[in-house]
A and B are shown apart, each in its own frame.
Chain A
Amino acid sequence: TQLLEQSPQFLSIQEGENLTVYCNSSSVFSSLQWYRQEPGEGPVLLVTVVTGGEVKKLKRLTFQFGDARKDSSLHITAAQPGDTGLYLCAGALNAYEGSARQLTFGSGTQLTVLP
């Protein structure tokens, strides 16, 4: 059972276009992280959101955590070829001291930005 559903699975767009990736769950997460992964490498953290309704901006990337902390979105403005990669959302279910803060990952969105 996939706790985190990510959509779309694949996205191919032209340079300069905008896009949004969605991450949805029926579970409530204490925090949610977005990662970008390139082939043969580990995921690189982009942002962590912890408060329901929180919006964070990282240059052309805007991240939003749903009010109920069950969903999140990543919006990229004016995409560039350098944005190409696998985007992963990951939710943390446990939040108390010493607990296993395992991350539950979505299946990822493979983004290709064409020049």
Chain B
Amino acid sequence: ETGVTQSPTHLIKTRGQQVTLRCSSQSGHNTVSWYQQALGQGPQFIFQYYREEENGRGNFPPRFSGLQFPNYSSELNVNALELDDSALYLCASSSTGERGETQYFGPGTRLLVL
């Protein structure tokens, strides 16, 4: 176990709704990254949070937003859900400062948009 937890484990929403996913990072880690993994593909980087600020973003529209809290936990919010948003959403925690920095993944939240 990595010590990274995510909630909920599964979620079903309809198109146009909004969703909030949560992640608790591993103890001692100050950085949280979010990834989207569509079925049969590798994870795609959404964004990263470091010291409560967005610290890099992948090719995702603004309706994907996030937060990081003082305890380093994080939220991913997706507005105006689309069918293609159905995927496994993964968060990974890490501690910045090393070239070989390791990211530890949580079990993911499976989102289904109908």
Contact = CB atoms under 8 A, between A and B. Distances in A.
Nearest to B33: A102
B108 A42 contact: yes
Interface stretch (B14-22, B37-45, B63-71, B78-86): B37-45
Interface size class for chain A? 20 to 34
A10 B35 CA distance: 23
A79 interface: no
Contact of A102 (B48, B97, B108): B48
Contact of A88 (B42, B101, B102, B106): B42
Interface residues of B, number: 35
B44 A105 contact: yes
A102 B56 contact: yes
Interface centre among A30, A42, A94 (most CB of B within 10 A): A42
B41 A101 contact: no
A45 B55 contact: no
Nearest to B104: A45
A49 B101 CA distance: 10
Interface string A6-39: 1000000000000000000000001101010000
B68 to A, nearest CB: 13
B96 A97 contact: yes
B90 interface: yes
Contacts of A41: 107-108
Contacts of B104: 45
Given A100-B56, A101-B96, 13 more contacts: A6-B42, A40-B108, A42-B90, A42-B92, A42-B105, A44-B2, A48-B102, A50-B100, A88-B43, A99-B55, A102-B45, A105-B44, A108-B42
Interface of A: 4, 6, 30-31, 33, 35, 40-45, 48-50, 88, 90, 92, 94-95, 97-108
Nearest 10 interchain pairs by C-beta = A100-B56, A105-B42, A42-B105, A50-B100, A102-B45, A100-B48, A31-B100, A95-B99, A100-B55, A42-B107
